[in-house]
Amino acid sequence: MTISSRAPEAAALTALAEDVHAFVQPDGGWCLNNAGLVTGGGRGVLIDTAATRTRAERLRRAVERVLPGGPDLVVNTHFHGDHHFGNCLFVPAATVVAQQDVREQILRAGLDLQRIWPGVGWGGIELVAPTLTFRESLTLHLGELTVELRDVGPAHTSHDVVAWVPERGVLFTGDVAWSGVTPFCLMGSLDGSLAALETLRAYGATTVVPGHGPAGGPEILDATEAYLRWLQETARQGHKAGRTPLETARDAELGEFAGLLDSERLVANLHRAYAELDGAPAGAELDIVGPFGEMAAYHGGLPDCHA
């Protein structure tokens, strides 16, 4: 893993199908998320933005080359800052849309993400919360295309919105699915993540754009599920043996998952899995500070973020 592989110059807006694009930021590690653009009828919807001002500006320039004037709507899939800090580069021309609880979570979290990695060049981000919200689902119409928004959480967080473009068979999963990157469910639910993946499979997508990592096909859903099933069994064994999440993580053999980015997330994921084994409801708020400290201990320092 090198810093150069995460340089903003590597990010690109790529056509997936007619009028549907993905902005993929290699290599997909911490705060290097993906975005999507759907256009039609002279209008456009941007799905998620980016973590830093530099990256959001790059995204905006790429979008404006396809859609002069930029998008009419910006959708935030969940409350983590890497998916919405760039909102400020698209308003007031665009209206920001999210699930109603996500709006409240964005306002409550503020710019806290920046405190985890003070060395990142965040670039004077201004917090912009969604002004249009929905409860369970919302359908957007763009000429002949539709973008179906649906809350499938708790999964990665307590509320996770996916965007489905049925006319093109393209599904933007937010951080419910991952490609080449370790999934992360500390703030959501392990059981809920598995249930959400079943919901995503039912769409029958031919193209899947995960929240982080390269786009692909339905195999991305399969790979995410395989990790989560392994996590589930690892948690059961560690919990039964009376080991702490950190001890269980250190004892675990990553096997086929050893090549995934950001393997330290295992520790935090185990905290969520243990909580659910102890009866915590899906999406219940857990301590975040302690698990992040244990991830750093597992990693040998603060987890890498090259946003």
**Which among 280, 252, 254, 249 is positioned nearest to 267, based on CA atoms?**
249
**Which among 291, 251, 258 is positioned nearest to 274, based on CA atoms?**
291
Structure token pair of residue 128? 């912009």
Which value, in Å, is the radius of gyration of the alpha carbons in the chain?
Answer: 18
pLDDT at 1 over 80: no
Structure token pair of residue 174? 């937010």
Q: What is the pLDDT of residues 95-120, one digit of tens each?
A: 999 999 999 999 999 999 999 999 99
pLDDT at 7 over 60: no
pLDDT at 2 over 50: no
pLDDT at 200 over 90: yes
pLDDT at 126 over 50: yes
Q: Are 70 and 59 within 8 A, CB to CB?
A: no
Helix 219-241 × helix 190-201 angle, to 10°: 160
Q: What is the pLDDT of residue 147?
A: 98
Q: Are 292 and 268 within 8 A, CB to CB?
A: yes
Q: What is the pLDDT of residues 158-191, one digit of tens each?
A: 999 999 999 999 999 999 999 999 999 999 999 9
* Interval 281-288 mean pLDDT: 95
pTM of the model: 0.96
User: Beta-carbon neighbour count of residue 166 at 10 Å?
Assistant: 14
Q: What is the pLDDT of residue 9?
A: 53
The alpha carbon of 75 is separated from its chain's Cα centroid by a whole number of angstroms, namely 13
209: β partners: 172
**Which among 141, 215, 121, 117 is positioned nearest to 173, based on CA atoms?**
215
pLDDT at 233 over 60: yes
Residues 6+ apart with CB under 8 A from 293: none
Question: Residue 108: enclosing H or E segment and its boundaries?
Answer: helix 100-109
Helix 219-241 × helix 265-277 angle, to 10°: 70
Q: What is the pLDDT of residue 10?
A: 79
pLDDT at 6 over 70: no
What whole-number percentage of the chain has pLDDT above 90? 96
